[in-house]
A and B are shown apart, each in its own frame.
Chain A
Amino acid sequence: MTENDKSRRTFLKATGAAALTAGIAGCSGDGSSEPTDASTETGTGTGEQTPVVKERTEIVPGSTAVEKTGEYSFRITLREPFSFAVPVLAYSAFSIVPEGVVGDIQGYDGDMSYEEFSTSNPVGAGPFRFETWESGDGGEFAATAFEDYHGEAADFDLQDAIITSPTARFNYFLNENADVAGIPTEKYEPNKVDLPSGAGQRTGSYGPLQNDKTVNMARTPTINTFYVGFNMEKVPKAVRQAMAYVVNRESFVESVFKSRGAGAYNLTPTQIFPGGASAYQEHWQGYDGGDTGGSGFDGLSGYPYSPNQNDVAAAKQVMREAGYGPDNRFELNWLQYESGTWKQMANTIRSRLEAAFIDMNISSAAFGPLLSQSEKGQHEALTLGWIADYPAPQNFLQLVDPPNTVYDAEGTQPNGARLFWSEDAMADENVRQFMVDQFDRIQNNPGTSEEAKQTRADAAVKLEEGLWASAAMIPIYHRTDDLFWYDTVDYDAPGAMGASRSKMVNAASGVKGGTVNGISATFNSLDPIASGNTASGGKIMDMFDAPFNYPNAAPEAEPLLVEDFEANDELTQYEFKLKEGVQFQGDYGEVTADDAVYSIRRLVESSNSTNTYFPLSVLNIDREERTVTYTEAPSGE
């Protein structure tokens, strides 16, 4: 988060809750028109009748700080130092498309209509050429190998059936219609697994299935964390701690998720935890009884809430100490996304909390309503998950940076974990300040020097401890992804960044019949800047190439369309040199710097872009903004 963002938040706070709720009331933000960025309220308050004079800032078209510096080289300028530019540029939204292919930014008319590009004629420089897409449940997607691919061309084609129902997917796989697939938890039988023990990705077999076949299986711990977060303005610390005491991660993972995951004590997943897996384990073990607050708070040694057990007695005690009892019970609303497994877990937690004077109501919502309710702070306890955008602790820990946990309808920074960790939160102010300071240490030490890395690592670990002390959020588990395949393909299962970050050309070989048949979820667009979910992200990865890539989803990004790059000492300017001679599909010629500039400008400036979070919030590419003043009629609703 930038200093600007922070001062803006403080400003909003100063104008009082009224201004904030005014922005929320219309479920709308405070307004702007098409290309927008941050906007600032300078109005006269929210008086009933007075028209509100507002300012908004919008990005000046063409001002995105990405420029061509040679036929094959281009430069990106950032507003602030950032050392993870390379992994971020591996994200599929940064895929390079031919200059002027669509006319959705200023200066281009477009070679084809947007609808054509995004549904029936996507053009990239990736290993597969688009063939057909029949959208919808029961439809199909097909792509053929691109012979002129700049890397090693695939010797097989792709064919995916689009199926959403877990049972139907499983049936499709059982009938050997698909070579590679996942198996939904409800159909998965742990006793059929034959995997070697150990950490990291493991490969073995699974079966026999009901069709008498035994299939290959890979279990991959992917980089993610699923958690319960609290609205700290509504839920007292004692209640949060009580829940932490009764949560027994290991037994949840075993009984609810059939051991397809690992208990989570830190928000930062094992693979990217400073010091690695062993440091992760050591970090939470051996709590020495340290205080979870107080003026001298400087972190904790070990996880304080009875790890690996269901400690109802401790939950009861912490509630008693806070003045609750049989006649003074707390009513807690639990909001979760639609999921049978989480429901099962919620029921268990509810029955345990009953003894600790907490009555829990469970409700569930689809993802959209869940997000909009929680950004307005209408929730109390909430289940969510986070899957790595790039493999670094701060990608997770930004979720719990206190200023980022309060909804802010403005700007480019998405809401973090919806904890509402404001000054009004029912929490120790010292711990809050501790969290803010530690996150600033990460922000202020972006460099690649050993010292900077050490400082960031230390701050990351401290943030985890502050999170324990406040019980603002209870990390529950890190999911592992299982993939299964028949002998019709030699499959090298994707790594920790997950299958949606891998290209099939890197995963499959020795394909019998010349086509890899898979199963895909529904997706709604083939335009890289509008790819919304993991299913379309996977398709984009196969058809398009970005400047960088996670080879078969291993968590180390490597150059792909880029040959070389250098950054200035401040890490604010990156200059990239593209590989020469890389061809686009379909007669669009060579990939040059003009194409790269156009593609990144589209991601920032196009109204079709649904991923500006990456260039504007994560990378924070420099851009020019202009202020527009306008008058808003008093809201009459």
Chain B
Amino acid sequence: MNRSIYLLKRIALALPVILFGLTVTFLILYRGPLDPANAILGQDAAPSDVRRLRVALGYINPDGSPVPLWQQYYGVMSDLLLFDFGNSWAVQRNVSVASIIVSRMPATLWLGFWSVMVALVVGIPTGFFAGLRANSLSDYVASGGGIVWRAMPNFWLAVILAGSLTAGGLMSWYRHFPCGPNENPCAWRTDVVTTPSEVSNLFSTIDLFTGVPVLEMLFIPVPNGFNLLIAFKWILPAALVLGSASMGNEIRIGRTAVLESINSKYVETAKAKGLSPRRIIVKHVGRNAAIPLLPVIMGEFYLLIGGSVLVEKVFSINGLGNLFFRAIIVPDIPVVMALVFIFVLINVFVNITQDLLYTVIDPRVTLEDTG
């Protein structure tokens, strides 16, 4: 089957998945025990205010009768699918959900990017290294380390790391590194919690020709070197926590995959042909070992969605995970629905990408229908 037809088919099949996910979320939010009006207004709210808010939130009609569930469902779904996320109820009253999400996005993307990088850059090479030196001391150290990283739960590791970075902790030097502890002011200083403003200024948009920011002209994002460094230093502990589990996974699976392929016949053949060890590892062992690694790597994206809630909370990172948590607690249903919608879309997109990548890595995997 043609790859683009396959892609279209997958996208068509994804629609029911998206609808199902949203419907379940809708039912939980609108049929569950949440009571936004009471939560927003609090204990000493005048009942007339509560009622007025319920009308404004679309729970009851102006005449007091409850809005039927199907009507609420239709309203919510049609707005969502047209990417009209509406206004926030409680996180930031009357501000558009889209602008809230956009303002929280940079921190989460930055965190996600570096936690994937930590896992990829440390995990896979270490796994390969261990596999190539199977049953040596360095293998034991590497794969033992992998198991330990894998075993440490995020919520625990985050609290421990935040604690040891804090004044009086083992690694409190990290905050002012590389300045001395008494060097003030120190531009390199980072806080353990809260989000520095550098994160939202990682890039400047500079006009290509004049070098000055001009909105009307052709402009491109140019990295702000120092901001990038500061933001990297700040995010590293959180990214390490979030990436730790997948890093451990990648070490273990990378090791096994390398061990499997290195003993197979085609590697012997390659050796016999006189290929250099480097070429064998990159071209033959590496490529085959990547097949079992692919779902693990892609799985990191799911982890980032779920895991960021926790890590962002502990480090007080003003990102989407924290927003999601806050929106459920207050509760702010338009924000929750919009975020779930985005998470479902990411999920579906990642899944489709994963299947397409299989065919790229392993030509034996085809897109033929078996029937």
Contacts and interface: CB of A to CB of B under 8 A. Distances in A.
A209 B92 CA distance: 35
Given A32-B48, A631-B63, 16 more contacts: A28-B66, A31-B61, A32-B62, A115-B94, A118-B94, A119-B92, A119-B94, A138-B318, A163-B194, A163-B316, A176-B167, A524-B90, A524-B92, A524-B93, A610-B53, A612-B46
B175 A175 contact: yes
B167 A210 contact: yes
Nearest to A371: B38
B268 interface: no
Give the interface size class of chain A: 35 or more
Contacts of A610: 40-41, 45, 49, 53
B193 interface: yes
Given A29-B51, A613-B44, A139 B318 contact: yes
Interface stretch (A129-137, A272-280, A423-431, A490-498): A129-137
Interface string A346-366: 000000000000000000011
B317 interface: yes
Contacts of A635: 65-66
A607 interface: yes
A36 B35 contact: no
Contacts of A118: 93-94
Given A210-B168, A617-B46, A632-B63, A167 B314 contact: yes
B243 to A, nearest CB: 20
A8 to B, nearest CB: 12
Contacts, number: 250
A105 interface: no
Quick one: which of B33, B34, B319, B331 has the most chain A CB within 10 A? B33
Contacts of B159: 167
B52 interface: yes
12 contacts: A135-B91, A137-B322, A138-B194, A161-B193, A169-B193, A171-B162, A171-B166, A174-B168, A211-B167, A371-B39, A613-B44, A632-B65
B233 interface: no
- 5 closest residue pairs by CB, A with B: A31-B64, A368-B39, A138-B318, A210-B168, A211-B167
Contacts of A175: 166-167, 175, 191-192
Given A412-B46, A412-B47, A168 B93 contact: no
B41 A532 contact: yes
Given A28-B66, A134-B103, A412 B314 contact: no
B322 to A, nearest CB: 5
Given A32-B51, A174-B168, A610-B49, A414 B93 contact: no
A613 B45 contact: yes
B60 A31 contact: yes
A507 B290 CA distance: 62
Contacts of A463: none
B315 interface: yes
Interface of B: 33-56, 59-66, 68-69, 88, 90-95, 100, 103-104, 107, 159, 162-163, 165-169, 175, 191-195, 312-319, 322-323, 326, 329-331
Nearest to B39: A368
Contacts of B326: 136-137, 164, 522
Interface stretch (A10-18, A403-411, A471-479, A592-600): A403-411
A114 B95 CA distance: 10
B163 A33 contact: no
Contacts of A373: 33
A637 interface: yes
B314 A366 contact: no
Nearest to B169: A210
Quick one: which of B40, B51, B61, B326 has the most chain A CB within 10 A? B51
A525 B35 contact: no
A239 interface: no
A174 B35 CA distance: 37
Nearest to A113: B94
B64 A28 contact: yes
A172 interface: yes
A136 B318 contact: yes
Contact of B42 (A137, A176, A532): A532
Contacts of B41: 532, 610
A367 interface: yes
A224 interface: no
A298 interface: no
Contacts of A135: 91-92, 100
Contact of B49 (A368, A369, A613): A613
A47 interface: no
Quick one: which of B42, B47, B66, B167 has the most chain A CB within 10 A? B47
A608 B87 CA distance: 14
A365 B42 CA distance: 14
Contacts of A389: 44
Nearest to A617: B46
Contacts of A533: 42
Contacts of A372: 33, 35, 38
A34 interface: yes
Interface in A400-444: 408-415
Interface of A: 26-38, 54, 56, 114-115, 118-119, 134-140, 161-165, 167-169, 171-172, 174-177, 209-212, 365-369, 371-373, 375, 384, 386, 389, 408-415, 522, 524-525, 530, 532-533, 607-613, 616-617, 630-633, 635-637
A137 B38 contact: no
A138 B60 contact: no
Nearest to B40: A532
Contact of A31 (B42, B65, B93): B65
A159 to B, nearest CB: 11
A525 B47 CA distance: 21
Contact of A413 (B35, B47, B69): B47
Contacts of B37: 368
Contacts of B104: 136
Contacts of A162: 194
A168 B64 contact: no
Given A366-B329, A368-B38, A371-B39, A137 B316 contact: yes
A161 B60 CA distance: 37
Contact of B312 (A138, A167, A365, A636): A138
A631 B65 CA distance: 10
A486 B237 CA distance: 27
A369 B34 contact: yes
Contacts of B64: 26, 28-32, 54, 56, 632
Contacts of A632: 63-65
Contacts of A35: 52
B112 to A, nearest CB: 16
A637 B353 CA distance: 44
Quick one: which of B33, B41, B48, B166 has the most chain A CB within 10 A? B48
B60 A409 contact: no
Contact of B316 (A32, A138, A532): A138
Nearest to A407: B47
Contacts of A54: 64
A409 B47 contact: yes
A366 B65 contact: no
A174 to B, nearest CB: 5
Quick one: which of B46, B60, B104, B331 has the most chain A CB within 10 A? B46
